[in-house]
Amino acid sequence: MSQIIQHRRGSLSNIKSLNTNGPIHRGEVLVATGSLYISSGSLDSDNYHYSASIFFGGSLTTDGSNYRPLTSILSGSGLPAITVGSYGRALDGILWVNTDDNKLYRLAADPTNDLAGVGNGLNATGSHVEISGGSSEASGQIGAAEDASYADGLFTDFTTTTPVGTAVDRFNEILKALAPPPAPLLDDIDMDSLGTSVKLSFGASNGVTSYSNVDGTGGSTVDSNAVFNASGTRRGAFGSAGARTGTLNEDVNADGAGNINFPANSFGDAELGTIKLHVNGVDLLTVDLTSTTNAITQTNGNSSQIQVSATKNAQFDDGTELDTFKSRTGTYSINAADQRQGYNFAKIIRSVGGTDTDSDFVEWVNDFDNNALAGSGQEMFEYTAAGSNQISGVTYHTSANIKFRTNISNAYRNTYTNGNAITFNPTGLSAATGVHITGSGVTDTINASGNSHALPALNNSADCEQQVVHLACTASYTANLYDPNDTQRITAQVTHPLKSNVVSTPSNQTGALIYKTTTNSSTNTENFKHESNRLADGNYANQSDAHSGNAFNSATSLATGGNTNLLVVPFDNGRVVAPAYNANGISNGNFAAITNGPGQNGQPGTNPNYSSLTGATLRAHYFKLRNTSTSDLSNMAFTIQGTGTGVLANKAGSAMSGNEFKLEFKVPQRTGWMDAVNDSTRTSPALQDGDQGSLAWSNPTTSGTSYTFTVHSEVLGGTLSTGNISGGEYIVFRITAREDWTGHIQNITTSSF
């Protein structure tokens, strides 16, 4: 037969009249929807909303109507007021839970339709049938106390309606305070060894054969040219094979004093589930913790291993054990055969009841590349000098530069230094300038300055990490004086974080002739470092002769015909010597042959050759000192440094030999050439050439010999017209020796003015 479904909309109280529009036949279905509710009070908040119901038609209804409801269960505080007059029998049979007492009722409309005396005519509830008694436990409440009161216990605020969860939580907190705590769950591992922070030559931007990229599995992604640190669980890079070992739960401290509840590095629930050693995406080992309470060692075919201790029961402070909580400690070891080149990572997986918990990761990089760093093509080149400083006919340069270069192999394979990897080490030169670090595999560094530099970034071209790096720089000659024997050199050291460093060392550079001092500003010292106090040969009869007009011409070669001057050299703190000077890289006065001196190897200027000036000819050196005081002087104390034997001024040159020399001085307008070596004989008349000029002569030494010159009382006192030596006047000295003299004078100074 056909099935009719009628749909009526309206309040639930109108259900009783739904049949007036046509009979509801037996077996047919009526669906009532809309804003349907059962009123239980005067306020809307008192209503029990009943959004929909299904009714079956037929004569089985108890009130003779043609429909009845499909059984439903509703709930609310109290019971709904239902009368036949208001709802008919439409709601009879619906199950109702009174949440006030947790009792179950079957609704039945009050047949009297009498609401009088039941409270505002809205609380007709007496006709409902109670089916079962209430239960606090069923609603999650603790219910009544055994002795009818909770006031005599610890928690006096407990009532019959206190939630069970509240009570259990409080009991659990009390137990925690009384019982020893369990060891923490396994969630951490460490690695014992710490490698080196490096920059990577491999990565997503530059693949290197057989090297695994740092893809971020265990941490952040690291590409080529980026730093892989050695810090925390990221353990840096290692250059040699070896087992990587560590401890489980290494961050756990021991619990308890005296009687230890659980030791350091323990993990709890130690009798449950399994632990796995997971390396590079593979579970290497699995340990079944349920298999025994004894210690367990699990090893794979590559000798990688997990070891866990026997279980330990928790302990109270008095030593009493609590076997509810069990702990173990453990270690792991990952053998080289289970590692790979490049990026490696490991963790522990704890499985209990089908649920996996991962520890943190440890990460490291292996770089076992065995291509050693090497240097080649190292050289000093392009020496360039400039400037002219002339002394005794010899030209000295005043500035110079030189360049260095070398080629370095394998600096990037397959990691490289984080930070400064290149160090230029200059000897006798300035810090490096014009630094170039170039190559086909790198982003070039051009015209940098300083001795320390980082390797430039790889350009990520194919096999860029295998390419040679070219180093070059320039340095200047910064010292005041360079003799031809002085060595200059630049070496380059390149470091690698995992391999032996390389030092690229060129041959020494020599042959420079550089001197930057151009004057001697002192008026009371002749140090023979320059010739600004030197005078031309002469008699110097007047003070004005010493004051001006007789300066020595330092540009004139001593080999010029008729020249009878001694040589001044700035070496060894300055000296006056014979022209055929043979020291400090100068062979017998041949300044023309100095490798990088003026006139050699394209350097500017020319120099003389004094090697032939070795005869018996007497040569001299004149210089002046000035009395800058305002006092008359009766005696003057001088200190002479040098090596030689002083002889009287009247000794013939042909009779002199070896290191013998003459030393004379003259006060222009006052004396002749006083013999500084003569300490006993006076001339007649006095103050003539060769007159006594010393009161305490002794030969000079390298450390200095002090003695007193005298200018005799005849010269002292009075005015200038009568012979006074006053402030501003000069004393002229003359040193005389043969061309083949083997001695030298290094310094003559006085403290008398």
Give 421-466 pLDDT, tens digit per residue. Answer: 999 999 999 999 999 999 999 999 999 999 999 999 999 999 999 9
- Nearest-angstrom CA–CA distance, 221 and 204: 9
Q: Is the pLDDT of residue 254 over 60?
A: yes
Q: Is the pLDDT of residue 120 over 70?
A: no
Q: Is the pLDDT of residue 76 over 80?
A: no
The two three-digit tokens of residue 523, written as one number: 């008026």
pLDDT band at 140 (very low <50, low <70, confident <90, very high): confident
pLDDT band at 18 (very low <50, low <70, confident <90, very high): low
Q: What is the pLDDT of residue 15?
A: 57
Q: What is the pLDDT of residue 523?
A: 83
Q: Could you report the per-residue pLDDT of 486-538, keeping only the tens digit for each?
A: 999 999 999 999 999 999 999 999 999 999 999 887 888 999 999 999 999 99
> CA triplet 255, 259, 260: central angle to 5 degrees?
30
Q: What is the mean pLDDT of residues 192-203?
A: 98
Q: What is the mean pLDDT of residues 677-698?
A: 90
Most confident stretch, 15-19, 136-140, 294-298, 705-709:
294-298
> What DSSP designation does 126 have?
T
Q: Is the pLDDT of residue 208 over 60?
A: yes
**C-alpha torsion sign, points 317, 322, 323, 327:** negative
Q: Is the pLDDT of residue 23 over 70?
A: no
- Nearest-angstrom CA–CA distance, 575 and 569: 6
Which regions of 580-643 does DSSP assign to beta strands (E)? Answer: 618-626, 635-643
- Nearest-angstrom CA–CA distance, 451 and 421: 11
HSE-CB of 134 using CA atoms within 13 angstroms: 16
Helices and strands per DSSP (H, E), number in the chain: 4, 51
- Round the average pLDDT of the chain to a whole number and report it: 87
Q: What separation in angstroms does the CA of 451 have from each of 434, 501, 697?
A: 11, 17, 54
Single pTM value for the model: 0.75
Q: Is the pLDDT of residue 753 over 50?
A: yes
Lowest-pLDDT range of 73-87, 112-126, 285-299, 657-671: 112-126
Q: Could you report the per-residue pLDDT of 326-348, keeping only the tens digit for each?
A: 999 999 999 999 999 999 999 99
Q: What is the pLDDT of residue 167?
A: 85
Q: Which of 637, 652, 589, 591 is nearest to 752 (CA)?
A: 637
More confident of the two residues 392 and 161: 392
Q: Is residue 475 within 8 Å of residue 404, measured between CB atoms? A: yes
The two three-digit tokens of residue 209, written as one number: 């054969």
Q: Is residue 311 within 8 Å of residue 182, measured between CB atoms? A: no
Q: Is the pLDDT of residue 61 over 80?
A: no
Q: Could you report the per-residue pLDDT of 623-672, keeping only the tens digit for each?
A: 999 888 777 766 678 889 999 999 999 999 999 999 999 999 999 988 89
Q: Which of 166, 162, 117 is nearest to 139 (CA)?
A: 162
- Nearest-angstrom CA–CA distance, 734 and 731: 10
Q: What is the pLDDT of residue 32?
A: 53
Q: What is the pLDDT of residue 174?
A: 84
pLDDT band at 146 (very low <50, low <70, confident <90, very high): confident
Q: What is the pLDDT of residue 104?
A: 79
pLDDT band at 614 (very low <50, low <70, confident <90, very high): very high
- Nearest-angstrom CA–CA distance, 186 and 270: 9
